Structure 1
Amino acid sequence: MLAAVAVLGVPGCARDSTEVRSAPGQPLQAPPARALDAYATKLRAAHAAAQRWGLKRAPLPAPPPPAEKPEIRTRAGFEVDGHTERGLPPVFTTIPTKEKIVFLTIDDGGEKDRRFLEMMSELNVPYTAFLSDYLVKEDYGYFRTMQARGVTLNNHTLTHPYLPGLSYAEQRREICGMQEVIRERYGKRPAVFRPPFGNYDQDTLVAAKSCGVTHVPLWNEEVFVDRWDYREWDREIHPGDIVLTHFRGAKDWDGTMPDMVRRFLDKVTAEGYAVARLEDYL
């Protein structure tokens, strides 16, 4: 019988089916060098990209998506009347997981920084966009490029209003209208929606559900060019936290979107967190 040894202990090769076989009666050969070479090449590329974008360390790779999606429930205190009974979309700030991962989400669509697209692609960092049409329509193509690079484009209303101040019909127009814009421009209505400012009421969630929305993620932290803000009293990052930022640049911030990403990645990486793709957990 032919003897075989699997390629073990090499990060990134755990799922490699490559085997090393020896002829009968001959000693086993060493694992193929190409597995180690490929991993070393990947590491060098990650470190080179980190240096090119001024990061202190290369971002940590996220674990594989879970085979079974976690059960997403509305955060305590974030419910509306009849939330469970009416089967309204869950409103949450964190994904239930023990993995040291966070999720980067970016709102609105005002700043259209080409270097940001380049940076995120080179660093291979996933993120999720929540778009408002009054800003996106200035350059639908920018977000089409983003989508082509694997980013999910989600709903953030047509005009970014304070939704609880509107009637049900007006809220539905804002939410369903943006669903149609995304479908027409980008091919598919999203199932994920974030209300502007994080404000919503029962009408918001009823309208969102009627438009095909299944999840309403908010956030636990917000990152800017010059600081982080926290929802929790401990002012710390937790496994599964959703992090908010915005498509903004030097007109609104004392810096650029790459500056913001640098602040974000330096902190989460230093604390041992990887950035995962939100949609993989919903």
Structure 2
Amino acid sequence: MRGGLAVLAVAALASGCAQDASEVRGAAGRQPLQAPPARTLDAYASKLGAVHAARVAAAKRWNLERVPLTAPPPPAEKPEIKAREGFEVTGQENLPPVFTSIPTEEKVVFLTIDDGAEKDPAFLRMMSELRIPYTAFLSDYLVKEDYGYFKDMQARGVTLNNHTLNHPYLPGLSYSGQKREICGMQDVIEKRYGERPTVFRPPYGNYNRDTLRAAKACGIEYAPIWNEEVFADHWDYREWDRKIHPGDIVLTHFRGEDDWGGTMRDMVREFLDKVTAEGYAVARLEDYL
């Protein structure tokens, strides 16, 4: 075990060493790249070992079938995000793109959670202990019941994004009505959580050109929807092959036993057991935007 961790430590330290060596060469000609001191490798290997042990313990504690895989580092160069074919609107240029996956060859998926009805403290602990990133899309009519719950979520590193004030069918509203719903939620998130989102999901995944025009006017840059939806006991798929693909965005909701016969923790197990068994890690959506 220690040997394997030491190899990982060497790889993790290599980029920093290379930068240092480059600076030395620039000042004094070519110099051999020096290996990090053994004690540095030992300390880093010990840290990796502790992190892995914590994930193993958390997976056991939360009754997962396997230890979740660790996502690769975020891409140094962000992928170009375009509207999915067939999801464009007339005059799409310069409007937030609607997309269902991120262009990547890495075996990663992105977990996104909508609305805000269920506020389960155990879910927050579970996701933190397992170190699973996710993105929240919030609607004020549900979030206002307990703004503090989502403040705690934000403090754990979760990005809180826009899902409108009242979760309406947006294409049924005028442009000004849609703008009130989207900009109004921008104001709520900024007031309660200190940041104005750049990411927005239209309720039900329904939108028209006015939706995207209003979203852009409110400061939105991206409008992701989803390729799969996970519940406490099953998955639904957009694609005909009913499979997960690299870069897929997965939807679920803040829901509990009254809505789908299971808890948020049951949903996480359903989600993680499948993606891990198929060799996928969970990455943070914002790292790719």
Normalised to the residue count of structure 1, the TM-score between the two structures is 0.91
Q: Quote the offset at 1:235 in angstroms.
A: 0.2
The letter of the residue matching 1:152 is T
Deviation of the 1:248 alpha carbon = 0.3
Please give the per-residue CA displacement for 1:110-149, whole angstroms capped at 9, x wherever unaligned.
0000000000000000000000000000000000000011
Q: Among 136, 139, 154, which residue is 1:147 paired with?
A: 154
Deviations 1:18-64 (A, max 9, x none): 8456xxxxxxx798533333222222111110000000111100000
| Conserved 8 A contact 2:165-2:181 | yes
- Aligned partner of residue 146 in structure 1, secondary structure: helix
Matching residue of 2:122: 115
Secondary structure in structure 2 of the residue aligned to 1:73: coil
Structure (1 or 2) with the greater helix fraction: 2
| Aligned 8 A contact 2:6 2:41 in 1 | no
Q: Name the aligned partner's letter for residue 55 of structure 1.
A: L
Structure 1: distance between partners of 2:103 and 2:112: 17
1:51 maps to 60
Say yes or no: does 1:164 pair with 2:161. no
How far is 1:253 from its partner?
1.4
Q: Which residue of 1 aligns with 2:8?
A: 11
* C-alpha RMSD of matched pairs (Å): 1.7
Alignment of structure 1 residues 135-214 onto 2, 5 Å: 135-214=142-221
1:253 and 2:250 correspond: no
Q: Per the alignment, do residues 144 and 13 of structure 1 end up closer, same or farther by CA in structure 2, a change over 3 Å counting?
A: farther
Aligned-pair CA distance for 1:11: 2.6
Q: How does 1:4-43 map to 2 (within 5 A)?
A: 10-11=7-8, 13-16=10-13, 19=35, 32-43=41-52
Q: Determine which of 223, 229, 232 is the counterpart of 1:222.
A: 229
Task: Provide the rounded CA distance (Å) in 2 between the counterparts of 1:15 and 1:44.
Answer: 19
Contact conserved, 2:199 with 2:220, CA < 8 A, in 1? yes
Moved more, 212-221 or 8-17: 8-17
Return the letter of the residue paired with 1:261: V
CA distance in 1, matches of 2:44, 2:6: 11
Identity of aligned residues (%): 70
> Which residue of 232, 238, 241 corresponds with 2:248?
241
Q: Of 58, 72, 76, which residue of structure 2 is paired with 1:67?
A: 76
One-letter amino acid matched to 1:278: L
Compute the TM-score of the two structures, normalised by the length of structure 2: 0.89
Q: Please give the secondary structure, in 1, of the residue aligned with 2:136.
A: strand
Correspondent of 1:133 among 137, 140, 144: 140
Deviation (angstroms), 1:102: 0.2
AA in 2 matched with 1:168: Y
Deviation at 1:8, TM superposition (A): 8.6
Name the structure 1 match of 2:22. none
Change (3 A) 1:12 1:121: farther
Matched residue SS, 1:14: helix
Counterpart amino acid of residue 86 in structure 2: G
Q: Could you tell which deviates more after superposition, 37-46 or 155-164?
A: 37-46
Change in CA separation of 1:242 and 1:20 when aligned onto 2, cut-off 3 Å? closer
User: How far, CA to CA, are the matches of 1:11 and 1:178 in structure 2?
Assistant: 44
Is residue 62–residue 275 contact of structure 1 (8 Å, CA) maintained in 2? yes
1:176-210 deviations in Å (ceiling 9; x for gaps): 00000000000011000000000000110000000
Report the Cα offset of residue 13 of structure 1. 4.6
CA contact (8 A) 1:172 1:208 kept: yes
